[in-house]
Structure 1
Amino acid sequence: MKEKKKIVLDVLKKHLERTDKFESQVLELALKQADGARDDGWGVFYSKGGKRLIAAKKTIEGDYVVKEDTQEIANNAFYGCAFLRSVAMPASITKIGDEAFAHCISLNSVYIPPTVEKLGKNPFVDLDSKVLKNQSAAFVVDAKILYNTERTRLISCLTDATMIIIPKTVTAIGSLAFSRRSKLKKVQLPEGLERIGRDAFSDCDALEEVTIPASVKTIDPYAFASCDGLKKVSFLGIPEHIARTTFSDCDNLMSIIVPKGEEKKFRKMLHITIESDTLVLSE
Structure 2
Amino acid sequence: MRLKQIFVIASLLLPLLSVIAPVAQAEEVDALLQQREELSDEKVGAREEVVNGVKQQAGSSLVAPESQAEEVKYIVKNSTLIVKDGVTEFGSLDFLGLDKHSIKKVTFPSSLRKIDNYTFRDCSSLKEVLFSEGVDSIGEYAFAYSRIEEVVMPNSVRYLGECAFSKCLELKRVQLSKGLNSIAGKAFESCVSLKEVTFPDSLSSIKNGAFSQCKALERVTFPSALEYIGYWAFEECVSLKTIDIPASVTHVRARAFRCCENLVSVTMPDSLETIEEEMFENCSSLERVHLPSSLKFIEAYAFDGCPKLDKQKLAIGRKVKVDRDAFGDSFLTRFSDRLSDVWEDVWEGVLEILFWPFIH
Normalising by structure 2, what TM-score? 0.42
Partner in structure 1 of residue 101 of structure 2: 61
**What 5-or-longer segments of structure 2 have no aligned partner?**
1-89, 107-113, 303-322, 334-351, 355-360
Is structure 2 residue 256 aligned with structure 1 residue 214? Answer: no
Q: Distance in 2 between matches of 1:217 and 1:96?
A: 28
Corresponding residue for residue 183 of structure 1: 216
* Residues 1:196 and 2:229 are matched in the alignment: yes
State whether structure 2 residue 201 is matched by structure 1 residue 160: no
- How far the C-alpha of 1:60 sits from its partner, in A, is 5.6
Task: Summarize the alignment of residues 112-151 of structure 1 with structure 2, pairs less than 5 Å apart.
Answer: 118-121=159-162, 123-125=164-166, 126=168, 127-128=171-172, 144-149=174-179
Q: In structure 1, list runs of 5 or more residues that go unmatched.
A: 1-50, 66-70, 130-143
Q: 1: distance between equivalents of 2:285 and 2:353?
A: 19
Higher mean alpha-carbon deviation, 218-227 vs 166-175, is at 166-175
Deviations 1:214-269 (A, max 9, x none): 3211223443233221233222224356542433553444554313484x712459
Q: Say if 1:196 and 1:80 are closer, same or farther in 2 by CA, change over 3 A.
A: farther
Structure 2 residue aligned with 1:29: none
Map of 2:54 onto structure 1: none
1:277 paired residue among 313, 330, 342: 330
Q: Which has the higher strand share?
A: 1
Q: Percent identity?
A: 26
Bigger radius of gyration among the two: 2
For 1:145 and 1:282, the matched residues in 2 are separated by 42
Q: What is the aligned counterpart of 2:256 among 213, 223, 230?
A: 223
Q: 1:175 to 1:182 in 2, by over 3 A?
A: same
Instruction: Say if 1:233 and 1:111 are closer, same or farther in 2 by CA, change over 3 A.
Output: closer
User: CA 1:265 to 1:53, structure 2 compared with 1: closer, same or farther past 3 Å?
Assistant: same
Q: Deviations over 1:191-229 (max 9, x none)?
A: 442111344323322112212223211223443233221
- Inter-partner Cα distance in structure 1 for 2:236 and 2:353: 27
Distance 1:193 1:278 in 2: 34
Aligned equivalents of 2:158 and 2:282: distance in 1? 36
CA separation of 1:229 and 1:278: change in aligned 2, threshold 3 A: farther
Is 1:266 equivalent to 2:298 in the alignment? yes
More helix by share: 2
For 1:167 and 1:115, how far apart are their aligned partners in 2?
Answer: 12
Give 1:120's aligned amino acid.
G
Q: CA deviation at 1:160?
A: 1.9
Measured after TM superposition, the shift of residue 120 of structure 1 is 1.0
TM score, norm. by length of structure 1: 0.50
Judged with a 3 Å threshold, the aligned counterparts in structure 2 of structure 1 residues 73 and 221 are, in CA distance, closer, same or farther, namely farther
Alignment CA distance shift 1:207-1:279 (3 Å): farther
Provide the C-alpha distance between the structure 1 equivalents of 2:161 and 2:257, rounded to a whole number of angstroms.
Answer: 20
Amino acid at match of 1:201: F
- Alignment partners' CA distance in 2, 1:254 and 1:109: 34
Higher RCO structure, 1 or 2 (CA under 8 Å, sep 6+): 1
Select which of 125, 142, 163 maps to 1:100: 142
User: Secondary structure of 1:185's partner?
Assistant: coil
Q: How many residues end up aligned between the 2 structures?
A: 209
Answer yes or no: is the 8 Å Cα contact 1:217–1:241 preserved in 2. Answer: no
